[in-house]
Amino acid sequence: MKKHNLKICIATTVRVFVMLSLICCTNVAISTNNKNNLNPLILVPGNGGNQLEAKLTKQYKSSSLICDPWYPPFKKKNGWFRLWFDSSVLLAPFTKCFASRMTLYYDQQLDDYFNAPGVQTRVPRFGSTYSLLYLNPRLKLVTEYMATLVESLEQLGYIDGENLFGAPYDFRYGLAAPGHPSRVGSKFLDDLKNLIEEASNSNGGKPVILVSHSLGGLFVLELLNRNPSSWRKKFIKHFIALSAPWGGTVDIMFTFASGNTLGVPLVNPLIVRNEQRSSESNLWLMPNPKMFDAKKSLVTTPDRTYSAHDMVDFLKDIGFQEGVYPYETRILPLMAKIEAPEVNMTCIVGKGVKTPEELIYRNGDFDEPPEFSYGDGDGTVNMVSLLALEKLWKDEKNQYLKVIKIGGVSHTSILKDKVALEEIIGEISRINSHAQLGLSNLSLATWDEK
């Protein structure tokens, strides 16, 4: 019996050594001929994670003299100008102008969201990483978004427009449950699907690696689940989700209640609050009642507390009655159906950063900033949301899910932090290595904690 066990041990050791040798050899091959050995990769940004341009038509009605169509004075050909991010938002009169042009309007009769009358919007250079690098190329130091990540991918052998692509979108818009129109969000999914197919076809039919950040992960998951299994198997190699808020955030309740400057100095949060409330995607980021404990208080006032199951009352009590109907009919059913796409997935998240867990309005005045009670998360998204898929899909036999947790990394610093980038690039390299070895279905360790 001992000799038999010894033979098994030796045989296993030899197989493992051979596999490691093959992987090492493959890594060497990739380093010498990167471009040909890499699966095409598409970056999908998060909320506010790409540039946005606007154009004013004759239907536009200014809210003040400052907001007349002359502003901004410098425009591109055909009248297009930078809407996000424009540094003039720092000055109060221009902040109001910015907010009025960014505001969406929900038409209950048409059951969909629309721009303000006379305001057209577009994302620059869809398919390229250009508008994901910096929110404003003239302010690179303070508006960097994915520039460092893209530089790391370029060092791996990726080239923008050849095997590396970007999928920017109008992040104010979201998606809706089946049976409800979502014109802008649905078009983005169509555009992303076409980009995936084109990226694969232009790279010898290799399936695509999708890398999303934050809200982008929710869009990608919806895209995967809205397409047949045969399409996913043909075109998707792997889905890497960075800082994905699968179950929403408590932080977005602060945005709805009091307005959120997102760290931009000199801006009065009450000026941008209505614009932020109008965002369809922000409703989508409300705490999901499937993932947040019904007994857990997320907002406290002298009169009552609100859990994730009390969002309708919360929206009414903060004075946003018009958000109730789209939340109940379009968003809640969407939140309730988070299905496993049966595509290999890796979630990379930050942890150990104090994250708003409860908002306390001692005077009951939502116009005043609350006190915060903090818990674990990435500074924006709560841990229960970041790790929600582990719990939801624990019994899914056909879903491969790997989770990598990195201590001390925040929601946005994950895109530039040295340790985080090593994990992200390392994961992409492993995925490409397995593809070269024909090990696309190899089961890896499902937990890697830093």
Please give the Cα distance from 387 to 219 (Å, whole number).
17
Q: Of 86, 112, 317, 378, which one is the catalytic site residue?
A: 378
In which element (H, E) is residue 175 found? Answer: none
Closest to 55 in 3D by CA, of 95, 126, 115, 114: 115
Tokens of 270: 């009450």
Q: Answer yes or no: 378 catalytic.
A: yes
Please give the Cα distance from 450 to 436 (Å, whole number).
27
Q: Of 100, 200, 214, 385, which one is the catalytic site residue?
A: 214
Count other Cβ atoms within 10 Å, centred on residue 418: 10
Phi first, then psi: give them for residue 371, nearest 5 degrees.
-85, 150
3 state SS of 44: strand
CB neighbour list of residue 433: distance below 8 Å, 6 or more residues apart? 23, 26, 27, 30
Q: What is the 8-class DSSP label of residue 263?
A: T
Tokens of 287: 């705490």
Quote the radius of gyration of the chain (alpha carbons, Å): 23
User: Cα angle at 176 between 171 and 178, to 5 degrees?
Assistant: 150
Pure H helices in 33-88 = 34-37
Q: Of 213, 238, 411, 434, which one is the catalytic site residue?
A: 411
Q: Answer yes or no: 376 catalytic.
A: no
Please give the Cα distance from 274 to 413 (Å, whole number).
28
Please give the Cα distance from 173 to 190 (Å, whole number).
14
The answer to whether residues 325 and 108 touch, using CB atoms and an 8 Å cutoff, is yes
Pure H helices in 318-366 = 324-326, 332-336
3 state SS of 157: coil
- Active site members: 214, 378, 411
